[in-house]
Each structure stands twice: as C-alpha cells, then as structure tokens.
Amino acid sequence: MDLVLQVLARHGHAMPDVELRNLTILAPLVAGPGEQILTTVGASPAPAGGSRIEVRSRRPQDSADVAHAMVTAHRRPAPDFGGRRLSLPLTGAERLLSIADVYAWVRERELVHSGLMKVGGMVHHRAADSVVALELPQEHSGSAPNFLFHPALFEAGLLGGGVGMHVLDEEHQGDDLYLPLVFESFRAIAPLGPRCFVRVPAASARREDELFRLAVEFYDETGAQIAEIGQLVAKRVRAAESLDVRDGSRSAAVTTTPAQMVSLVPQLENRLTLSAGSRAAARRPAPPSAHWPPGCSRCRAAYG
C-alpha cells in the first residue's frame, strides 16, 4: 500500500486526493535478509477510468517478472470521514490481547516478525468493535516520516483487528492463518505517524469458508479518523511456504517475459495523470527496508 501511495505522490498525486480500488494481491514480494529485488511500479489507463497500477519484481536469477499486486487509482476529493473520532482513553474492553500475543500466534503459523516490522500495542475487544492501539518501538520511531502509511503499523492493525478477533474466538483458535487478498477500497488523508488506532466494527466481520471479510478504520493518536478500508477480504493460508512463489510452483504468479516488458514501456512513458494512466516509477532495486506488509524475517511478504 505504502509503495503505491509513495510512487503516486512522487508523480503529483497526493494521498488525500487518491482513491485506491480493488487492490488485489497476486503473490507476496518475498525477500531474504539483505537481498535486493528489482521492483517495478507501472500504470496504464483503466477501461472504466483512472489508472491500472501493477507492482512487479525480478531477482537477478529470475527468468521472468513476478506480478505481485494490481490496483486501480482514481482522483477524488479528499474525504472528511464525517468528522468521526474515537473516544479516548479507550474504555469498555471485554478482553485485552497484546500485539506480542498476536505475533506469537502467527509465528506458530510460520509468519515471523522482527526489526522494523514489529511494533507494540494492545487489542481492545469490545462488544461493538475491536480497537488496536499501536506504537512504533523507540528504536524505530524515527522511521515514521519515511512512509505515507507505515507498513508495520498498517499490518499490525490488520493483524490485531482481524487475527485478534480470531484469536479471542475460542471456537476458531486452532484455525489456519488468514492473509489479505483484496482491499476493495482505500482512502487516507494523513500518515499514521508513530502512534495510531485501528478499529474493526464487529458488524463488518464475517467468515465465509476460506474467506474472512471486515472493514477497517484508522485513527491518529488524537482519535481523529484519517483513513479507511471499505472492505478487506482475507484468504486462509495453510502453509507459509506457499507464500514464496519463486521457491515452489510458479503457477500462482502472473509472469511476463523480458520481451513483453520491453514492449510495455512505450505505452507507459509520459503518462503521469491518473485520468490517462502513468508509468509510476522506473525499474529500480527496492532497498532492504522497503519490503511492505506483512514484513517478516522469513517470508517478508509485501502487500502492495
């Protein structure tokens, strides 16, 4: 998410003026410690308006690009979210769950967090919602200005609001991990900063076989709403090894040959408006710190 927002911002499309729709995860971006991956963010006109953006990558040893995500971006007036605010301090929690316990739960399912991607916080499970209070640890608090939507806080909010609700449901504690598949819509008017709150309305969360659906709201440290996901659809993942499409079968990955990528370049050049589409960034290596959620030391998956 942050990668797409930052590239759009660098081409004149400020985050408050952009609506992202149907951000679909095709394959995680998996990076080992210290590994450099050539990452491409490109765009072309979408049939129904706006720009269709794709995120692709390639390692030096790869014979083809892997498509990781696609999303449609539209220019829209900045939302005000109805002036919604959280009542602070948080009260009325029926149960509390630390983010450390959430990390432990997903670690048992081979999703391991460390370094920049590990934050502190608490899930407040209430009758009408789950609210996750989050804060960057002191050693990484200085990283907040480097992101429009900090990937560690973003992911911890999704895990806390989704997995937290899942863990607190004793009937489903032994279930497999659910990871994001589709973000149906996303709007944001300000960065998350070093501290934030993430709210999942209980009425929005429902499980349908292998899918888990929920709406997500983001609030700054004062309690003012600054972002929302209209609906997130997560899918059950039974084996963490399947996250790295390069290590196993590539059937799940959408690939493009080098010749095909070259043929796309003229279509994408010099289109820097959302209405006409844009080649949002040149092909460039992503720095080791720029691997987006859910970041983890083992499978370090980037969700857009």
At residue 139, the pLDDT reads 94
Q: What is the mean pLDDT of residues 32-48?
A: 88
The pLDDT assigned to 240 comes to 55
Decide which of 115 and 29 is more confident.
115
* Whole-angstrom distance, CA of residue 197 vs CA of residue 135: 9
Cα dist from 115 to 137, 138, 177, whole Å: 10, 12, 21
pLDDT in tens, 219-258: 999 999 999 999 999 988 766 555 555 554 433 333 222 2
pLDDT of 94 reads 93
Backbone angles phi and psi of 192, in degrees to 5? -75, -25
When pLDDT is averaged across residues 46-67 and rounded to a whole number, the result is 92
CB-based contacts of 193, cutoff 8 Å, min separation 6:
144, 150, 220, 221
For residue 45, the surrounding DSSP H or E stretch is strand 37-45
**Model pTM greater than 0.85?**
no
**Residue 275 clears pLDDT 90, i.e. is over it:** no
pLDDT, mean over the chain: 79
Instruction: Report the DSSP beta bridge partners of residue 73.
Output: 20, 51
Report pLDDT for 303. Answer: 29
What is the assigned CATH class of domain 81-240? alpha beta
Confidence of residue 111 (pLDDT cuts 50, 70, 90): confident
Residue 167 is predicted with a pLDDT of 60
Question: Among residues 169, 178, 99, which one has the least CA distance to residue 131?
Answer: 99
Q: Which of 22-31, 89-98, 109-118, 170-179 has the highest mean pLDDT?
A: 89-98
> Hey, where are the domains in the chain?
2-78+254-286, 81-240
